[in-house]
Amino acid sequence: MRLLFLGDMVGKTGRTTVWEKLPGLIADLKLDFVIVNGENAAGGFGITEDIYLETINAGADVVTTGNHVWDQKEAVTFCTRHDQFLRPANYPAGTPGKGSGLFYARNGARVLVANIMGRVFMHPELDDPFKSAESILAACPLKEQADAIIFDFHAEATSEKQCFGHFVDGRASFVVGTHTHVPTADHQILNGGTAYMSDAGMCGDYDSSLGMEKEEPLNRFISKMPKGRFEAAHGPATLCGVGVEISDSTGLAEKIAPLRIGPRLAETIPDFWA
């Protein structure tokens, strides 16, 4: 199975670039399943229902989120209407929406996708992500109820991300970090066969501060005084993500490589799909 994960869409330039390029990528790379993190898609803060639907219409099979999931108030309502929209699974019981789900890939495979949020340096501090993952894996084990299992681990600390990867190694197909908006160079397959990358990066304008126009963040570092609001940068966006090839027989990863298309960052497309 060929899977593509795209990191946090940031603002209009990030989401429109995903919408424009994703259909071609699905066709050219013969993708079976696509996951997109959409938590920064609406002006850099949260996601609206219209943006969610456009992302699904462009070819995403699942849209994940993170700590900004509720920044657009309508998300509290529309999250209950769409099974392909995930918020972090370790929110307290009774929170609207869902944190994981079983979906069908284009090749017929059953794909469990779970959205988990870390707790180190994160707000709000949610329930234990490790216990949450354990419950999800126990309810839908790899190669029993699911042919592949993917975790979007939305967290700040790379140590927490790495430990989470080791925690589910051999029991999940792929763990990918989101939230920090900077693609890491540590894509690898762990000892037990789980593909791992600390952060997929963002789909947005890299002439920025994490997708925001750089003047105000820079001002706050220097002066410690706000002069205005953070605004999503509007320059040309780079598409950032990671491709994984998953064994049909074991559900574990066989290959992993970053995908980056656009200005500023060195372009790369998984060569094992060439």
- Pull the structure tokens for residue 78: 């529309």
Distance in angstroms (rounded) separating the CA atoms of residues 201 and 240: 6
Q: Strand pairing partners for 3? A: 33, 244
Q: Is residue 181 a known part of a binding site? A: yes
Q: Is residue 82 a known part of a binding site? A: no
Q: Is residue 205 a known part of a binding site? A: no
Distance in angstroms (rounded) separating the CA atoms of residues 64 and 66: 7
Q: Is residue 152 a known part of a binding site? A: no
- Would you say how long the chain is, in residues? 274
Dihedral sign computed on CA atoms, order 92, 96, 102, 105: negative
- Is residue 234 part of the annotated active site? The answer reads no
Q: Is residue 179 a known part of a binding site? A: yes
Please check whether residue 11 is in contact with residue 232, taking contact to mean a CB–CB distance below 8 angstroms.
Answer: yes
Among residues 68, 82, 187, 234, the one annotated as catalytic is 68
| DSSP helix/strand/coil, 97 | coil
Q: Is residue 67 a known part of a binding site? A: yes
Q: Is residue 123 a known part of a binding site? A: no
Contacts of residue 179, Cβ cutoff 8 Å, sequence gap at least 6: 8, 66, 67, 118, 122, 154, 155, 156, 199
Closest by Cα among 57, 92, 96 to 74: 96
User: Which residues are known to be catalytic?
Assistant: 68
Binding region: 8, 39-40, 67, 154, 179, 181
Binding region for Fe cation: 8, 39-40, 67, 154, 179, 181
